[in-house]
Each structure stands twice: as C-alpha cells, then as structure tokens.
C-alpha cells in the first residue's frame, strides 16, 4: 500500500508541476500611450521577472514606448508615415482642446469639435492597424513565433483584430470605456447597452478591413472581436467602485502599480521636513498637462501661497509671478514616495487613475481638478466616498481652491474616509499585480479555456483515479484470497 501511495503522489506531483510552475511563455502586447502605458508596463515587468518573453507591437510614432533603447522587452515596430513630433503635436492639440477650448464652448459645439478630433485620430490609428494586418511578412513572423497570449490595451482598437488573425487568446486591460459601453455590450455584462457612434465608425473600419482582405473568414466587428477576450483586467477595485453586476472573467486589479514609499531625495526631504507640524501638499496635474495659461497658473499659485503648508508642485510652465515662498516647483515628483510620506496632508490631482490609486494606497485626501477622459468620473467616485473635494478647473477662483484645500486638510472626515479606502485596498488575500499576472498566465497555460491541455489534465486525473481504484481492488482481492486460504487451512 505504501508503495502505491508513493506512486500516486508522484503522479499527482508531476501533474501539478506541469500545470503550476516552470512554465515560460511568449506574450505579445498591444499597448497604448500615456498613463495607460505606465500602468501596463508594471504588469509586463512582472511577466519578465517570471521569465516570460515579452514582445511589444508598437507604432513608430509612439513617444512613450521607447523602442530605440536597449530593453528586456522585444519590439516589433510598425512603421507609419508620421513621426514622434507629429504624435506630440497631436497630443498637445488634444490637451489644448480638452483643457482650454472645449470648456468655453456650448456642450453641443464642444461635442462636435471633439468628434472631429476623434475622427482624425481614428484615421491615424487606422493607418497603424492597416500597416500591421496588411503586412504579410510581419503577420507571418508573428504567427511563426507562436505566442501564447496577447495583452491588449483596447483604447486603441486593432489589437483584438491582430489576436483574431493570429488565433491567439487575449486579455484586455482597461480602466473604462465611456459609459462602460464596450464592457457591457462586447464583454456581455448583463446590462442594456447604448452603442456610441464614435465606436461604430471604428467597427465599420475593422469590418471592411476583414471583408476585403481575408475573405475566407467570416467578417467580424470590433465588438465581436473584443468580446472574445478571455479575461478583462479592470484598473479599479472595490475601494473605488460601487456595486454593479459583472461576469466572472472580469478581474478588478486597481492600484497594481502602488508600492510602499521609498525615501525622498535629500533636498526634497529637507524641504518636506521644514514644513513642521503643518505638513505638505502634493500637487500634480499628471504626465500630460505640462503648462497652464498664465492667468490660471497665477491664481492657483496665489491660492497655494495662502496655505500654512509647504507645497510641492509638479509644473513645467513659466514660473507664476504670484508663487509663494511656501511653494516649490518641480519638473517631476516622486509622487508615490511623497504620498506615502508621513508629513503629506493632501493631494491636488487631475484625477488620473494611477494618481488616485496612489492616494488611496497611502490614505491621502484629495482635491480633484478633473479635465478629460475618465478624470471627472474618478473624482466623482472619490467625492461620493467622502475622500475628495472637487473644484472646476475652468470656473474656479483662488478662493475656491483655497477653501477646498482647507476642507480636506482640516475636516477630519476626509482623512478618515481616505484611510478607510486605504484599509479596504490593503485587505486583499492576493495583491492586484499578482492577480493580474496570474490570470494572464492562466490564459497562457490553458490557451483560453477549452483547450487540449485542460482536457489532457482532466484525463490524467481520471486515469489517476482509475489507477488508484484498480490498485485498491487488487489489494483487497489479494487480501480476500489470502484470508480465504487461511480459513481453509484452519
């Protein structure tokens, strides 16, 4: 019996080894720019750590995904007509539009203007898509590499089309689509949907692409392809979200990039310490907004000057004339380390998901100045949870900003609520980054869900069970025969 047990445990161990560890796969990535990339990079670096091979499919026009530098990532570059400068110009135009122009127009006018910008941008995305899927040698090369999984940021559509053409299972990683339309409709969340015209335009493009060049295949739409995602990694968690229905292949991994604070650079630490009992305020409008109109920068600076706190402001524009002695301007801030500093009292933020999560992680109350994309939605969540006060970027006065800051610093409920969110955030059995990577590896191991290796594993389990039962039967039979013989002799 002992021998049989050893056998069985060896078989079981072998099975778990094949499934559980020592698996190195190939990951193909369809990224997006800006904060999206910074977030995705955390996941990709963890995949590298676990010895997977990571290849990033990027357009030559990118300005964050630096494929020129030597890197542990592999790059497949899609060469397009525009260069990095054009991309930067277009981003700056978008910022000007969203921050300065649109708020001065009526809702209808600004929607029209934004639609125009969006359609133009769609044309650029379409070029990248065409240069990827129509390049037979590129597609063949990707096909031959036999990737195990694709990780896609679907904000720039086309990743799902590449995955479909290559026949690779894929994982979507996003914060949200406007009104959660794509998640609800394409990801089949059980809620009635409204499909936006903006996206139907993209869907049409994808449909035509497929019809014209891959005729043996059944044409597909953007949404149909998106719906084939094995897993959706959503960049929020229940510290941030309100209860809502979702499917089991949605994983909420908000704050996966957050880490405990590291010590600050000496000079910055001295400045922070000089604040004494009053503490400091951290101010950043994110990686995209680099400068403000002079008049606006001036009344922000004059509001900050009236605080007893010291202020660290990430700002690249011209130094405002009204800048107070308590305020220091920096090109760049170690934001996570500052938010984790015991002297930090408040965070003034544009409301990007990454920054909000760093504040939740460290339990810091916020003043939100949302501008575009998911920022207003993010701040609305924080406001509803009692951890933030919102000020309107376009209509605010110095007094508004100052009173918002005083509220979050001196009304204890804001700090308490921020700490409550922080406790919820930290109260998870598995860290968000580990969960994100686990589900990507899960898809790699099981090739989606209904694949042969899963069936193989189940068959092996059945075989083990049959083997054990047979052994047991044989053993009992032998025993019965032996006792029978003994009885006869007696």
Please report, as ranges, the residues that interact with ligand NAG according to CB under 6 A: 79, 131, 135, 137-138, 141
Strand, helix or coil for residue 57: strand
Q: Which is nearer to ligand NAG, 77 or 95 (CB)?
A: 77
Q: Which is nearer to ligand NAG, 7 or 125 (CB)?
A: 125
Phi first, then psi: what are they for 75, rounded to 5°?
-125, 140
The token duo for 326 is 């308590």
Of 331, 329, 328, 241, residue with least CA distance to 290: 331
DSSP tag of 167: T
Rounded to a whole number of angstroms, the minimum distance from the CB of residue 57 to ligand NAG is 10
Q: CA angle 115-132-176, nearest 5°? A: 45
Rounded to a whole number of angstroms, the minimum distance from the CB of residue 79 to ligand NAG is 5
| 254 alpha carbon, distance to own chain's centre | 7
Rounded to a whole number of angstroms, the minimum distance from the CB of residue 136 to ligand NAG is 8
Are 313 and 304 within 8 A, CB to CB? yes
Q: Which is nearer to ligand NAG, 86 or 127 (CB)?
A: 127
Rounded to a whole number of angstroms, the minimum distance from the CB of residue 387 to ligand NAG is 47
The token duo for 411 is 């009304």
Residue 106 CA to residue 408 CA, distance in Å, equals 32
Rounded to a whole number of angstroms, the minimum distance from the CB of residue 141 to ligand NAG is 6
| 8 alpha carbon, distance to own chain's centre | 42
Q: Which is nearer to ligand NAG, 133 or 418 (CB)?
A: 133
Q: Which is nearer to ligand NAG, 62 or 220 (CB)?
A: 62
Residue 156 CA to residue 167 CA, distance in Å, equals 19
**H and E: helices and strands count for the chain:** 18, 13
Q: Which is nearer to ligand NAG, 135 or 306 (CB)?
A: 135
Q: Which is nearer to ligand NAG, 51 or 141 (CB)?
A: 141
Rounded to a whole number of angstroms, the minimum distance from the CB of residue 74 to ligand NAG is 12
Residue 391 CA to residue 481 CA, distance in Å, equals 87
Rounded to a whole number of angstroms, the minimum distance from the CB of residue 138 to ligand NAG is 4
Pairing between strand 280-284 and 310-314? Answer: parallel
Q: Where are the alpha helices (DSSP H) in 175-293?
A: 181-185, 197-213, 222-226, 266-273
């Amino acid at each position: 019996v002992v021998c049989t047990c050893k056998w069985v445990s060896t078989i079981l161990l072998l099975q778990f080894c094949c499934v559980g560890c020592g698996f190195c796969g190939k990951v193909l990535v369809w990224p997006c720019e800006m904060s999206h990339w910074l977030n995705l990079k955390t996941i990709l670096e963890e995949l590298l750590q676990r010895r997977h091979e990571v290849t990033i499919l990027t357009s030559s026009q990118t300005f964050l995904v630096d494929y020129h530098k030597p890197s542990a990532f592999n790059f497949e570059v899609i060469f397009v007509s525009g260069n990095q400068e054009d991309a930067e110009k277009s981003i700056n135009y978008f910022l000007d539009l969203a921050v300065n122009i649109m708020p001065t127009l009526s809702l209808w006018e600004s929607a029209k203007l934004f639609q125009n910008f969006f359609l133009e941008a769609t044309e650029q995305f379409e070029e990248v898509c065409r240069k990827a899927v129509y390049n037979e040698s590129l597609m063949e090369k990707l096909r031959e590499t036999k990737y195990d999984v694709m990780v896609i940021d679907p904000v720039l559509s086309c990743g799902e089309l590449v995955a479909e053409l290559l026949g690779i299972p894929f994982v979507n990683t996003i914060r949200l689509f406007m009104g959660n339309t794509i998640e609800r409709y394409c990801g089949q969340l059980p809620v009635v949907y409204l499909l936006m015209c903006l996206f139907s335009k993209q869907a049409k493009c994808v449909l035509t692409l497929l019809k014209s060049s891959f005729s043996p295949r059944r044409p597909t739409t953007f949404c149909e392809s998106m719906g084939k995602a094995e897993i959706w990694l959503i960049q929020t968690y229940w510290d941030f979200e309100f209860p809502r229905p979702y499917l089991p292949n949605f994983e909420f991994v908000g704050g996966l990039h957050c880490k405990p604070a590291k010590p600050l650079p000496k000079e910055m630490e001295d400045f922070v310490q000089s604040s004494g009992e009053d503490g400091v305020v951290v101010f950043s409008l994110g990686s995209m907004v680099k400068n403000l109109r002079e008049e606006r920068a001036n009344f922000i600076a004059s509001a900050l000057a009236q605080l007893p706190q010291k202020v660290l402001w990430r700002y690249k524009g011209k130094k405002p004339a009204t800048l107070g002695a308590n305020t220091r301007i920096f090109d760049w801030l170690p934001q996570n380390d500052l938010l984790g500093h015991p002297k930090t009292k408040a965070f003034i933020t544009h409301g990007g998901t990454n920054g909000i999560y760093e504040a939740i992680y460290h339990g810091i109350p916020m003043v939100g100045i949302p501008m575009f994309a998911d920022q207003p939605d993010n701040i609305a969540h924080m406001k509803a949870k009692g951890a933030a006060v919102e000020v309107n970027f376009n209509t605010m006065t110095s007094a508004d900003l100052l009173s918002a800051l005083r509220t979050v610093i001196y009304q204890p409920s804001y700090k308490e609520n921020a700490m409550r969110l922080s406790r919820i955030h930290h109260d998870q059995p598995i860290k968000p980054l580990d969960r994100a990577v686990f589900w990507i590896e899960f898809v790699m191991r099981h090739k989606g869900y209904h694949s042969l290796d899963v069936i193989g594993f189940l068959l092996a389990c059945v075989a083990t069970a049959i083997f054990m039962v047979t052994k047991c039967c044989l053993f009992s039979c032998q025993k019965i025969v032996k006792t029978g013989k003994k009885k006869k002799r007696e």
